[in-house]
Amino acid sequence: MPSASLISVASWLPEQRLTNADLEKLVDTSDEWIRSRTGIAERRIAAPGDATSDLAARAGAIAIERAGVQPADIDLLIVATSTPDMVLPSTACLAQAKMGLTCPAFDLNAACTGFIYAIEMATAVIEAGRARTVMVIGADVLSSIVDYSDRSTCILFGDGAGAVILQASDEPGVLSVHLGADGSGADLLYVPAGGSAAPATCERISAGETYMRMNGNEVFKFAVRAIPQVTNEALADSGLTLADVDWLVPHQANQRITDTVAQRLGMPSERVVCRIEDTGNTSSASIPIALDSLYREGHLRPGHILALVGFGAGLTYGAAIIRWTRED
Ligand code: UT7
């Protein structure tokens, strides 16, 4: 049975920055509060007219170039997003056309855990011999569903995209993935209107129901409970322990969540990837963006063990244990 290896990683962030000082002008908050409670200093905001598929296609194009493959070599494209360009067609189909791909393409929505879910799907398809090369993109334009009059959410989220390419290999790359979902927590983080349960109407839009609602404290508690647990489960599946992990790459949601998770796992802070300060929470893009920064800064070596871990609306959670196989 072939293994799935990551042969490239890339990311793309919009130019425009939304700083804490900018948010001080919109809501009753302060740079000091945001930094101390979240670790965030600024986020990126997509340019007017740029949709999730545009960000996705830009990250994907860099991933193709770095992988040294041709667009025709990609057998399958999965885009993890919860802010699709439109209800239909899928953002994956729109990004597929923008990248000049010809392969099957579909969206996957597992909110901020979407990238981990998509890694599991891509790995399963490769291991089954149904595809050789699969592109996974995590992309979100969260600014399209953020209520910039709600200080409990608008301080957290930003826009961005990250991409990886997985390819069949004799060398083990993706060692194990563990996923979970608990739909009883669906009301902790959701967008009330705009779907089939409550189609967007003038009244619902005026009432702000097409914006995200979140119970931040409960999501925080869920994250610091679920992430250490699923990380340990995925490690046990791969026959490794935390001592084998070179880099813990958590979903970048709140620096305090990352610190608590690292402490509960007993992971030294120098092996925990923290990139939230300049990007905020970019949902399904946050893990590949953090991974790409690790790659570009030259920290990844062949044989390094990565633990990618995520959590989000759903509630969903998941962890992927990966051996980095790229030489540069
Ligand atoms: O991808 C998953 C997405 N979601 C998450 O990861 C969210 C996880 N949760 C969090 O990150 C945190 O719960 C928040 C950052 C959302 C909130 O931080 P917190 O430390 O849990 O604050 P809190 O909700 O307990 O609120 C403490 C105080 C409250 O005031 P009172 O009642 O003590 O007077 C809030 O009204 O802070 C107030 N507050 C703010 N003050 C200044 C809430 N937001 C703000 C703000 N600026 N932006």
Report yes or no: 43 and 17 within 8 Å, Cβ to Cβ. yes
Q: Of the residues 112, 154, 178, 254, which is catalytic?
A: 112
E strands, 71-201, in order: 76-80, 105-108, 133-141, 159-169, 174-181, 189-190
Ligand 1, closest atom to CA 154? Answer: 48
Mean local confidence (pLDDT), 246-251:
98
Cβ of 3 below 6 Å from ligand 1: no
**Cα(217) to centroid(ligand 1), Å:** 7
* pLDDT per position as a tens digit, 181-235: 999 999 999 999 999 999 999 999 999 999 999 999 999 999 999 999 999 999 9
Mean local confidence (pLDDT), 127-132:
97
Q: What does pLDDT average to over the chain? A: 97
Residue 162 — pLDDT band, cuts 50, 70, 90? very high
Cβ of 82 below 6 Å from ligand 1: no
Cβ of 148 below 6 Å from ligand 1: no
* pLDDT per position as a tens digit, 61-120: 999 999 999 999 999 999 999 999 999 999 999 999 999 999 999 999 999 999 999 999
**pLDDT greater than 90 at residue 19:** yes
Ligand 1, closest atom to CA 251? Answer: 1
Best CA proximity match to 140, nearest among 222, 44, 48, 210: 44
Residue 281 is a catalytic residue: yes
* pLDDT of the residue at 63: 98
Helix (H) or strand (E) holding 122: helix 114-127
**pLDDT greater than 90 at residue 328:** no
Neighbours of 31 (CB within 10 A): 14
Mean local confidence (pLDDT), 303-324:
98
Report yes or no: 282 and 258 within 8 Å, Cβ to Cβ. no
* pLDDT of the residue at 163: 98
Tokens found for residue 251: 């979903």
Best CA proximity match to 325, nearest among 165, 115, 161, 113: 165
**Cα(216) to centroid(ligand 1), Å:** 6
